[in-house]
Amino acid sequence: MQLVLENVVQKVGAATWLYPMSLSLQSNVVTVLLGATQAGKTSLMRIMAGLDTPTEGRVWVDGQDVTGMPVRQRNVAMVYQQFINYPSMTVAQNIASPLKLRGDTDIAHKVHSLAQRLHIEPFLDRLPAELSGGQQQRVALARALAKDAPLMLLDEPLVNLDYKLREGLRDELTQLFEAGRSTVVYATTEPAEALMLGGYTAVLERGELLQYGPTSEVFRSPKSLRVARAFSDPPMNLVPVQLQEGGAQMRLPNGVVLALRQPVATADAAAVLGVRASALTLQAQPGSVEVRGQVHLAEISGSDTFVHVQLPWGDWVVQLTGVHKVPLNAPISVYLMPDACYVFDSERAADQGGALLQLPAHAQGG
């Protein structure tokens, strides 16, 4: 299925929820809508589904203009953050309902297979009200997958599940999407989830489409500071720098100079250096640059430790894999690799819109 949005705009009263955007989704792959709350993800999905009509612009499906065509006339499956199931039907009947409507055979086997993958097989004879919220959400997911619609829309479907189950289901969903025939649109606020799902990613912020492309490419080569921040969790560490020697090196506020493998082509000496938390280390490596600071906070989240370090120019976060004990208020050295640095122009640094001036060396080859 080929879904194309052409100059779509969505306004509600005097407020603009979606600014003009055009988007041609890749067929039969996953497109992730990545953005913070109120970025416009749900508004865009409702237009894709036919639940809302855009204020301006057109929606095309396989070359047919479906703008304004109601959702009941489209073959779409959608899962919301808040699960929706048929309360009077058992779990098995909920999952089987789209299969029966389609006239499928061997329904019982397909129901059990989906239930097993989504870890709800023990609850097939129960009513949704007898399940936990997370279990009910998995029933809604199973029913949407059973529909096998050409367009499947999932609006943060795992947000209400516990961390461990969410990690496992991401892997299962990726396999299910690859085995299916649907064009999948998956909304999330989590960059890690976008990377795990792969496919393509559209980065949204406050109703604007900032960038769209293969997920790995958008992550490694953000076109602007806004994209880099949206695709970094925790947010990308930033610091103003001065470019020197024709853009071949940069000077940090504490006087440390970083040599760049590829000179930055810009007439403006002022720039913004960005480094993801996961690219920083507490151990020296060949070619790394040391910056000394003080531990402000250390927090453990999932299987990672986030160390907040007070550096000469402010607070930066270092993301370490595993659980680490880091003494508070202790002096510490943070190491960064020039190849892992992003350089943005400072023209619109105040609103974090600066354009990318240089790709990290490890991203040059794609």
Residues β-bridged to residue 60: 4, 65
Residues β-bridged to residue 21: 8
Q: Say whether both 204 and 283 belong to one domain.
A: no
Q: What is the CATH number of the domain that holds 35?
A: 3.40.50.300
The dihedrals phi and psi of 236, each to the nearest 5 degrees, come to -60, 140
- Angle between helix 107-117 and 91-102 (nearest 10): 130
Asked if residue 54 belongs to a domain, the reply is: yes
Count of positions (residues) in the chain:
366
| Nearest-angstrom CA–CA distance, 127 and 129 | 5
| Nearest-angstrom CA–CA distance, 33 and 47 | 14
Q: How many helices, marked H, and strands, marked E, lie in the chain? A: 8, 20
Asked if residue 228 belongs to a domain, the reply is: no
Locate the DSSP E strands across 246-351: 249-251, 257-259, 270-275, 289-301, 304-311, 314-321, 331-336, 342-345
Query: How far from chain centre, in Å, is Cα 52?
Result: 23
Q: Say whether both 145 and 187 belong to one domain.
A: yes
Q: Say whether both 90 and 16 belong to one domain.
A: yes
Q: What single DSSP character describes residue 236?
A: P
**Residue finishing a domain among 220, 248, 272:** 220
Three-class SS state of 268: coil
Q: What single DSSP character describes residue 131?
A: S
Q: Say whether both 157 and 256 belong to one domain.
A: no
What pLDDT score was predicted for residue 165?
75
Mean pLDDT value across the chain: 89
Q: Say whether both 279 and 211 belong to one domain.
A: no
Q: What is the CATH number of the domain that holds 347?
A: 2.40.50.140
Q: Say whether both 26 and 92 belong to one domain.
A: yes
Asked if residue 355 belongs to a domain, the reply is: yes
Asked if residue 229 belongs to a domain, the reply is: no
Q: Maximum Cα–Cα distance for the chain, whole Å? A: 72
| Domain enclosing residue 249, as ranges | 234-363
Asked if residue 283 belongs to a domain, the reply is: yes
Q: Say whether both 48 and 108 belong to one domain.
A: yes
What pLDDT score was predicted for residue 204?
97
Count of domains for the chain: 2
Asked if residue 226 belongs to a domain, the reply is: no
Asked if residue 214 belongs to a domain, the reply is: yes
Q: Decide if 273 contacts 342 (C-beta within 8 A).
A: yes
Q: How is residue 94 written in tokens? A: 């909920």
Q: Say whether both 168 and 244 belong to one domain.
A: no
| Nearest-angstrom CA–CA distance, 55 and 108 | 44
The dihedrals phi and psi of 182, each to the nearest 5 degrees, come to -95, 150
Query: How far from chain centre, in Å, is Cα 69?
Result: 29
Q: Go through 329-357 and write b for each residue having 16 or more CB atoms within 10 A of its CB, e for each that does not.
A: eeebebbbbbbbbbbbbbeebeebbbebb
Q: Say whether both 251 and 180 belong to one domain.
A: no
**Residue finishing a domain among 195, 220, 245:** 220
Three-class SS state of 96: helix
- Angle between helix 133-147 and 91-102 (nearest 10): 10
Q: Say whether both 204 and 289 belong to one domain.
A: no
200-244 pLDDT tens trace: 999 999 999 999 999 999 999 999 999 998 999 998 999 999 998
| Nearest-angstrom CA–CA distance, 98 and 328 | 56
State which amino acid sits at residue 49: A
What pLDDT score was predicted for residue 217?
95
Residue located via tokens 């470019």? 243
Q: Decide if 27 contacts 183 (C-beta within 8 A).
A: yes
Asked if residue 227 belongs to a domain, the reply is: no
Q: Say whether both 14 and 53 belong to one domain.
A: yes
Q: Say whether both 50 and 187 belong to one domain.
A: yes
The dihedrals phi and psi of 256, each to the nearest 5 degrees, come to -65, 135
Task: Give the count of alpha carbons within 13 A of 307, CB side only.
Answer: 28
**Residue finishing a domain among 174, 198, 220:** 220
What pLDDT score was predicted for residue 360?
67
Q: What is each CA distance from 275 to 209, 217, 242, 322, in whole angstroms?
A: 23, 17, 16, 20
What pLDDT score was predicted for residue 151?
93
Q: The whole model's pTM is what? A: 0.87
List the chain pLDDT tens, one digit each, 366 residues: 899 999 999 999 999 999 999 999 999 899 999 999 999 999 999 999 999 999 999 999 999 999 989 888 888 998 887 778 899 999 999 999 999 988 888 999 999 999 998 889 999 999 999 998 888 888 998 998 888 889 999 999 888 777 777 777 787 788 878 777 789 999 999 999 999 998 999 999 999 999 999 999 999 999 999 999 899 999 899 999 999 888 888 899 988 888 887 787 776 788 899 999 999 999 999 989 999 999 999 999 878 999 999 999 999 999 999 999 899 999 999 999 888 889 998 764 445 567 888 666 554 443
